[in-house]
């Protein structure tokens, strides 16, 4: 039976979950995988934390040098988070001849090319299933399950914090700020929630996933990013009234026009499978030319779900002598031949406040028509101040055409305000 020694860098929520799975399931892995996996070392500054999890004191390391010099360690698991220290530790582990498993999506999105180049030189692996969508095996699916397909679409809810916030806003009719505070109290949102609510977390993930799905480097810098901080309970209510729910989506499409990759809140029909993905759950929808449509669903975060993905990588690394490396030019930037779509074509949800006077709607529709935009839904409600609330949904339209229309409409004296512009995804 093959013996495998593992070191874990960091015993926080995810590191603790990983340690628990590796130790609790040790005999199970022997029976089912033919592997005798032992946690040989942990690097954790909080010694009491390590001891409380059952780590023998002799296995608690005080430095990365102590970890990588341990001859019994074959695979290093990095779960400390951040970028600077994590990158330094991962590089040291690779250069010591050890394969690395990480859950650090920011590290991978920013330095995948650099880390993989060193891993290739050393003949070791770099694995990061847990960096995207928690316990959902999306990366393994793309690499080992979708080889027969030219994947043209990858679309999903890949951030649990924002999905929890939008779910609560939808169910309770609450304001964003109110739900955010609740999410922070429950531990779903960080004290500084910027990475989640402004879409950075989802941006890193869709950069990684689209690169693998399309076999082309898609740097995180090319991802168009919008967060959820401007979503109001009025947007939620009008969307619901129109038969939609609002979700923060990570979207990647590959066509003859080029690669379109973006993160933004969007309206989706209640009948869409993604519409029923609530709370902190995640889901990813894929379209392949052979398999057609599939969707993966599960917990996008948490000690054991993310630990599950990490341990999956540990087992994969232990069982495969041939390491997986990106089958494309994995540089810091995209290949010069790769085209990216910047003028997105989609449907739009537009909410306006108007003077309640005859002829205003016809003036608006004329502006949209002049820019080649067809309106498929129009609803007008009076407000309490003698104005009118108008909700429009367009047919497919280019973003540039919508922007031209909004610029013209905003200057009309009858238009009091443009309250919201959101994309609509079928």
Which helix (H) or strand (E) covers residue 181, if one does? helix 176-186
Strand pairing class (151-157; 244-255): antiparallel
Structural domain contains residue 376: yes
29 located within any domain: yes
Indicate the residue among 264, 299, 334 that finishes a domain.
299
Distance between CA 77 and CA 99 in Å, rounded? 9
Question: What percentage of the chain reaches a pLDDT higher than 70?
Answer: 100
Q: Above 90 in pLDDT, residue 342?
A: yes
Q: Are residues 87 and 151 in the same domain?
A: no
Is 43 within 8 Å of 63 (Cβ atoms)? Answer: yes
Q: Tell whether 143 and 221 lie within a shared domain.
A: yes
Do 31 and 151 belong together in one domain?
no
The 10s digit of each residue's pLDDT in 258-309 is: 999 999 999 999 999 999 999 989 999 999 999 999 999 999 888 999 999 9
Average pLDDT, the chain: 96
The beta strand positions in 19-108, using DSSP E, are 35-43, 60-61, 75-78, 99-102
Number of separate domains in the chain? 3
pLDDT band at 252 (very low <50, low <70, confident <90, very high): very high
Its domain, for residue 246, covers 138-299
CATH number at residue 351: 3.30.70.260
Among this protein's residues, is 233 annotated catalytic? no
Same domain, 373 and 253: no
Q: Are 388 and 381 in contact (CB under 8 A)?
A: yes
User: What is the β-pairing status of strands 281-288 and 292-299?
Assistant: antiparallel
Assess whether 99 and 50 both reside in one domain: yes
CA 150, CA 215: separation in Å to the nearest integer? Answer: 10
Positions of E strands within 292-358: 292-299, 345-355
Tokens 């050393």: give the residue: 122
Task: Please check whether residues 254 and 153 belong to one and the same domain.
Answer: yes
Nearest-angstrom CA–CA distance, 239 and 228: 15
Q: Say whether both 168 and 114 belong to one domain.
A: no
Catalytic residue among 98, 105, 205, 216: 205
Q: Which CATH number goes with the domain that contains 115?
A: 3.40.50.720
Return d(Cα 209, Cα 250) in angstroms, integer: 10
Hey, which residues does 126 pair with through a beta bridge?
100
Evaluate whether residue 146 is within a structural domain: yes
Contact 277, 247 (CB under 8 A): yes
pLDDT of residue 356: 85
Please say whether the beta carbons of 53 and 22 come within 8 A.
Answer: no
* pLDDT for the residue 230: 96
Which of 81, 102, 131 is at the close of a domain? 131
Whether 144 and 246 map to the same domain: the answer is: yes
* 354 in a structural domain: yes
- DSSP states along 234-289: HHHHHHHHTTEEEEEEEEEEEETTEEEEEEEEEEEETTSGGGG--TTEEEEEEEET
| Whether 293 contacts 287, CB under 8 Å | yes
Q: Write out pLDDT tens, residues 56-106.
A: 999 999 999 999 999 999 999 999 989 999 999 999 999 999 999 999 999
Same domain, 218 and 100: no
Shared-domain flag, residues 32 and 118:
yes
CATH number of the structural domain spanning residue 171: 3.30.360.10
* Number of CB atoms found within 10 A of residue 378's CB: 12
Mark which of 131, 147, 180 sits at the end of a domain: 131
């Amino acid at each position: 039976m093959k013996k495998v020694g593992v070191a874990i860098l960091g015993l926080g929520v995810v590191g603790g979950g990983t340690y628990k799975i590796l130790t609790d399931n040790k005999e199970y892995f022997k029976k089912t995988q033919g592997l005798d996996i032992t946690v040989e070392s942990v690097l954790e500054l909080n010694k009491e934390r390590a001891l409380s999890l059952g780590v023998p004191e002799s296995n608690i390391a005080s430095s990365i040098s102590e970890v990588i010099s341990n001859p019994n360690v074959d695979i290093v698991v990095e779960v400390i988070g951040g970028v600077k220290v994590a990158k330094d530790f991962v590089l040291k582990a690779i250069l010591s001849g050890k394969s690395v498993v990480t859950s650090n999506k920011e590290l991978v999105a920013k330095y995948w090319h650099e880390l993989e180049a060193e891993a290739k030189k050393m003949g070791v692996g770099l694995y990061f299933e847990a960096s995207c969508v928690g316990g959902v095996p999306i990366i393994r699916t793309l690499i080992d399950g979708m080889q027969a397909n030219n994947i043209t679409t990858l679309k999903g809810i890949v951030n649990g914090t924002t999905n929890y916030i939008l779910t609560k806003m939808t169910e309770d009719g609450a304001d964003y700020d109110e739900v955010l505070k609740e999410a922070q109290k429950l531990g779903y949102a960080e004290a500084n929630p910027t990475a989640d609510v402004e879409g950075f977390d989802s941006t890193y993930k869709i950069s990684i996933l689209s690169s693998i799905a399309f076999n082309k480097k898609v740097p995180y810098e090319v991802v168009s990013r919008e967060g959820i901080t401007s979503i109001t309970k009025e947007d939620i209510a009008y969307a619901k009234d129109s038969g939609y729910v609002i979700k923060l989506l990570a979207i990647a499409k590959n066509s003859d026009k080029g690669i379109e990759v973006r993160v933004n809140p969007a309206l989706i029909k209640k009948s869409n499978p993604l519409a029923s993905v609530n709370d902190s759950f995640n889901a990813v929808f894929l379209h392949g030319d052979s398999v057609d449509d599939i969707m993966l669903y599960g917990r996008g975060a948490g000690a054991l779900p993310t630990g599950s993905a990490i341990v999956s990588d540990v087992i994969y690394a232990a069982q495969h002598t041939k390491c997986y490396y990106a089958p494309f030019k994995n540089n810091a930037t995209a290949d010069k031949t790769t085209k990216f779509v910047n003028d997105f074509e989609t449907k739009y949800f537009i909410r306006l406040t108007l003077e309640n006077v005859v002829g205003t709607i016809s003036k608006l529709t004329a502006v949209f028509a002049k820019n080649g935009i067809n309106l498929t839904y129009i609803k007008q409600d009076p407000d309490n101040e003698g104005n009118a609330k108008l909700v429009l949904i367009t047919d497919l339209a280019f973003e540039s055409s919508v922007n031209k229309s909004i610029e013209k409409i905003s200057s009309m004296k009858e238009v009091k305000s443009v309250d919201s512009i959101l994309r609509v995804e079928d």
